[in-house]
C-alpha cells in the first residue's frame, strides 16, 4: 500500500526521506485493516492499474498518510495536495487489451474477499524499473509507535 509516491529522488535526498519515515512512525499507532473488493484505474476503458479495496482501516490509513506527508514536508518535499485513496495495487496493466476483462474477473473474485492484517510498520521503497517487471526494494522499515 503506497502512502505517498515521491518520484525520482536524488541520492542526497534519501537521508531526509528516511528521517521523515522514522518521524512519522514515531507518532503513528499500529492498527488493523481489512482488504476486499476490487477495481481498476481508470475505471472505464483500458485500465492502467488493478487494485484491491480497503473495507476497514481506511481512516487510520488516511491519518498515517497525512502524518507521513507532514514529515516529508518538514524534510523539504513540496507535495501535491490530493486526497489519499486507500487501496492495494496488485498490478500495472499499462492499458493492455486484456486489462478490461482481467479487471472484471478480479472485481468478481474479490467481491466477498475479507483479508485482515495489522499495519505495524511503514517503509521507504525504491522502485527499480527496466529490464523486466518493476521491483520494489526496501530502503528503510520502521515499526509504528
Look up the CATH number of the domain holding residue 116: 3.90.1140.10
Q: How confident is the model at residue 95 (pLDDT cuts 50, 70, 90)?
A: low
Q: How confident is the model at residue 3 (pLDDT cuts 50, 70, 90)?
A: very high
Does residue 2 fall inside a structural domain? no
pLDDT in tens, 29-71: 999 999 999 998 887 777 888 999 999 999 999 999 999 999 9
Q: How many residues does the chain have?
A: 145
Counted domains in the chain = 1
Instruction: Give residue 133's pLDDT.
Output: 79
pTM attached to this predicted model: 0.89
Does residue 4 fall inside a structural domain? no
Neighbouring residues of 49: CB distance < 8 A, sequence distance ≥ 6: 40, 41, 89, 90, 91, 92, 93
* Cell numbers for 10: 536524488
- Domain boundaries, position 107: 11-143
What is the CB-side half-sphere exposure of residue 38 using CA atoms within 13 A? Answer: 22
99 pLDDT above the threshold of 90: no
Backbone angles phi, psi at 55, to 5 degrees: -85, -45
89 pLDDT above the threshold of 70: yes
Does residue 6 fall inside a structural domain? no
* Cell numbers for 137: 526494494
What is the CB-side half-sphere exposure of residue 118 using CA atoms within 13 A? Answer: 5
User: What span, in angstroms and rounded, lies between the C-alpha atoms of 121 and 25?
Assistant: 7
Does residue 126 fall inside a structural domain? yes
Does residue 1 fall inside a structural domain? no
Amino acid at each position: 500500500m503506497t502512502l505517498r509516491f515521491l518520484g525520482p529522488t536524488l541520492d542526497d535526498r534519501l537521508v531526509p526521506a528516511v528521517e521523515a519515515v522514522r518521524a512519522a512512525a514515531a507518532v503513528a499507532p499500529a492498527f488493523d485493516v481489512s482488504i476486499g473488493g476490487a477495481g481498476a484505474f481508470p475505471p472505464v476503458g483500458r485500465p492502467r492499474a488493478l487494485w484491491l479495496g480497503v473495507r476497514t482501516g481506511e481512516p487510520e490509513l488516511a491519518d498515517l498518510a497525512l502524518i507521513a506527508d507532514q514529515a516529508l514536508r518538514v524534510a523539504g518535499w513540496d507535495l501535491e495536495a490530493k486526497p489519499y485513496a486507500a487501496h492495494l495495487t496488485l498490478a500495472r496493466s499499462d492499458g493492455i487489451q486484456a486489462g478490461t476483462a482481467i479487471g472484471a474477473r478480479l472485481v468478481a473474485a474479490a467481491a466477498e474477499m475479507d483479508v485482515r492484517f495489522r499495519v505495524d510498520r511503514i517503509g521507504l521503497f525504491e522502485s527499480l524499473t527496466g529490464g523486466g517487471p518493476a521491483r520494489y526494494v526496501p530502503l528503510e522499515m520502521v515499526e509504528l509507535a
